[in-house]
Amino acid sequence: MRINITANGEARSLDLDPRTTLLDALREHLKLTGSKKGCDHGQCGACTVLANGTRINACLSLAVMHDGDEVTTIEGLGSPETLHPMQQAFLTHDAFQCGYCTPGQICSAVAMLAEFEAGAPSPETPRGAAPTLSDAEIRERMSGNICRCSAYPQIVAAIRDAAEGRA
Amino acid sequence: MRPFTYERAASAAAAVEAAQAPGARFIAGGTNLLDLMKLDIEAPAHLIDVGRLPMAGIEATDEGGLRIGAMATNTAVASDPLVRARFPMLSEAIVAGGSPQLRNKARVGGNLLQRTRCAYFYDPTKPCNKRQPGSGCGALEGLNRNAAIFGASPSCVATHPSDMAVALTALDARVETLTAGGGARSIPVADLHRAPGDTPHLETALDDGELITAVVVPPAPTGGQAYRKVRDRASYAGGLASVAVAGGRLALGMVALKPWRATAAEAALVDGADPAEAIGRELAGASPLGRNDFKVPLVARLAVATMAEARAAANGGGQG
């Protein structure tokens, strides 16, 4: 099937087996290998990308379901010369060890802050109130991204810095 | 994954018509269906993508309730100001489930129709009557720590994993559907899922090709609302048990193959029983299997705590 997607601002046309996941389309067909395949079942978050601005697990979506969508991967957030503030914050705080989960963590964190700004509640949000960006809120809202190296304290610190404009 | 053909439905009517094709399945968020397709547990021949149909709105009804389009994402429902104001427990139940990434994709209709997380259902090297009718139940004598304590049968002791469905059951919600013939039906969420009996592979009251188009929630009952869930880790884990309270109504989650409306407990409350007595009346009908015996005292304590939280919310003012 032929699909058209905008990947990191660039219009791309692909002829795909309908079984191709969005993650495989990005990695194997568009050679955007920043997004990682961890569990391939939506349990680890390493494949997190933004589809029309919303964070999703690219492994649990078919590419054909995204015909016409705008997809942003880690490659579209920043470049080695011009890092996204969230990327800089992860570097500053040493918020990774092996780095495998990091592209998903950073994409997830960028979208998480947008969700937070929009007032989306989490289990940490008091009833009827707007959320405040406590460490508990950051941890809860990032629970879909697993880090086997357990860099969680540094990840929370990096996200807080980026959120508060210090990165 | 087995080969399949794919189409994006142009309308709900076109979707139910296309669903007459052999092996056709609807897909919207796909977070459960694609997971199962990768494991060969689901193998549809044709996918009808209904995810872009204009059925994602959330509107107040004239009666003071809400009509939630079946294609609304979990995130959209949980974040909606009307949902948070009128049915805070529904928002809280939704964010208790999955991860943010999954909730951004998952839709209301699919959430209700998601399949069990029973480990034997997921393991093709073990028997499972739900996956392969007639093969037996691996969980019955296996590691059944998270199995049902209500409504199970010798054929199936699995549980339904949805948090949202538990809240909707306590809220007396109904699903609206479009049938294969183009007719409309309205089914209480409490009646949507079948008891397993000896046909646990038949899971819902929906006919082949019938599409959920909306969930209608009636006005909130007087008294408070609360939802509590217990699980093995703090976030992003399936539940061991949950309790939804809406006024005098109680529903229990992850203890049966459907959201379990605790009618015996509700009747006891009407008769003046205190919360502990009332949930005790319900749990008198529980049939734990050994490894899940702990769910009986767990649900007892959880229900008392959740009823207390709901009462406190009611006394705290507002509609909480």
Provide the ipTM: 0.97
Joined together, the tokens standing for residue B52 give: 């872009």
Answer whether B102 sits within 8 Å of A21, measured CB to CB. Answer: no
pLDDT at A166 over 90: no
What's the burial of B272, exposed, middle or buried (CB within 10 Å: 0-12/13-18/19+)? exposed
pLDDT at A164 over 50: yes
Q: Say how far apart CA B316 and CA B229 lie, in whole Å.
A: 22
Instruction: Average the pLDDT over B43-47 and give the result.
Output: 98
Q: CB neighbours (10 Å) of residue B200?
A: 25
Is the separation of the CB atoms in A105 and A159 below 8 Å?
no
pLDDT at B153 over 90: yes
Sign of the torsion angle spanned by Cα atoms A133, A139, A141, A145: positive
The alpha-carbon gap from B91 to the nearest alpha carbon of chain A, in Å, equals 8
Instruction: Average the pLDDT over B56-66 and give the result.
Output: 97
Element holding B90 (H helix, E strand) = helix B88-95
pLDDT at B106 over 50: yes
- Closest of B251, B253, B229 to residue B96, by C-alpha: B229
Q: Which residues, including other chains, have CB under 8 Å from residue A16's CB and lie 6 or more apart?
A: A1, A2, A3, A25, A29, A63, A64
What tens digit of pLDDT does each residue of A51-88 get? 999 999 999 999 999 999 999 999 999 999 999 999 99
Helix (H, G, I), strand (E, B) or coil at A40: coil
Q: CB neighbours (10 Å) of residue B69?
A: 22
Interface of A with B in 2-31 (CB under 8 A): 18-19, 21
Q: What is the mean pLDDT of chain B?
A: 96
CATH says A2-77 is which class? alpha beta
Please report, for residues B125, B146, B257, the alpha-carbon distance to residue B200 in angstroms, rounded to integers and kept in the order given. 19, 17, 9
Q: Angle CA(B20)–CA(B24)–CA(B28) in degrees, nearest 5?
A: 115
Answer whether B84 sits within 8 Å of A121, measured CB to CB. Answer: yes
Helix (H, G, I), strand (E, B) or coil at B202: coil
Parallel, antiparallel, or unpaired for β A2-7 and A70-72? Answer: parallel
User: What percent of chain B has a predicted confidence (pLDDT) above 70?
Assistant: 99
**Residue among B3, B35, B104 minimizing CB distance to A55:** B104
Element holding A105 (H helix, E strand) = helix A102-117
Q: What is the mean pLDDT of chain A?
A: 97
Residue B266 is classified by DSSP as: H
Pick the CATH number of B5-52 from 1.10.3470.10, 1.10.3720.10, 3.30.43.10, 3.40.640.10: 3.30.43.10
What's the burial of B231, exposed, middle or buried (CB within 10 Å: 0-12/13-18/19+)? middle
Find tokens 């769910």 and name the residue: B295
Residues of A in contact with B104 (CB under 8 A): 54-56
User: What percent of chain A has a predicted confidence (pLDDT) above 70?
Assistant: 99
Q: Say how far apart CA B106 and CA B108 lie, in whole Å.
A: 7
Residue B306 is classified by DSSP as: H
User: What percent of chain B has a predicted confidence (pLDDT) above 90?
Assistant: 97
Q: Which residues, including other chains, have CB under 8 Å from residue B54's CB and lie 6 or more apart?
A: B69, B71
Residue A77, amino acid: L
- Second-level CATH architecture of A85-163: Orthogonal Bundle (1.10)
Answer whether B99 sits within 8 Å of A40, measured CB to CB. Answer: no
Q: Say how far apart CA B26 and CA B10 lie, in whole Å.
A: 13
What tens digit of pLDDT does each residue of B215-271 get? 999 999 999 999 999 999 999 999 999 999 999 999 999 999 999 999 999 999 999
Q: Angle CA(B81)–CA(B84)–CA(B89) in degrees, nearest 5?
A: 165
Q: Say how far apart CA B251 and CA A132 lie, in whole Å.
A: 31
pLDDT at B73 over 80: yes
The alpha-carbon gap from B36 to the nearest alpha carbon of chain A, in Å, equals 9
What tens digit of pLDDT does each residue of A100-142 get? 999 999 999 999 999 999 999 999 999 988 999 999 999 999 9
Q: What per-residue confidence (pLDDT) applies to B319?
A: 43
Is the separation of the CB atoms in B270 and B248 below 8 Å?
yes
CB proximity A72 to B under 8 Å? no
Instruction: Average the pLDDT over B49-53 and give the result.
Output: 98
Provide the residue ranges of all domains of chain A, joining segments of one domain with +: 2-77, 85-163
Q: Angle CA(A129)–CA(B62)–CA(B67) in degrees, nearest 5?
A: 60
Instruction: Average the pLDDT over B115-122 and give the result.
Output: 97
Q: What per-residue confidence (pLDDT) applies to B248?
A: 97
Provide the residue ranges of all domains of chain B, joining segments of one domain with +: 5-52
The alpha-carbon gap from B9 to the nearest alpha carbon of chain A, in Å, equals 11
Instruction: Average the pLDDT over B139-147 and give the result.
Output: 95
CB proximity A141 to B under 8 Å? yes
Helix (H, G, I), strand (E, B) or coil at A20: coil
Find tokens 């969930």 and name the residue: B215
Q: What per-residue confidence (pLDDT) applies to A123?
A: 96
Residue B135, amino acid: S
Beta bridge partners of B188: B174
Is the separation of the CB atoms in A167 and A89 below 8 Å?
yes
| pLDDT confidence tier of residue B316, bands split at 50, 70 and 90 | confident
Q: What per-residue confidence (pLDDT) applies to B320?
A: 41
Answer whether B235 sits within 8 Å of A56, measured CB to CB. Answer: no
Is the separation of the CB atoms in B90 and B171 below 8 Å?
yes
Q: What per-residue confidence (pLDDT) applies to B261?
A: 98
| pLDDT confidence tier of residue B317, bands split at 50, 70 and 90 | low
Instruction: Average the pLDDT over B7-35 and give the result.
Output: 97
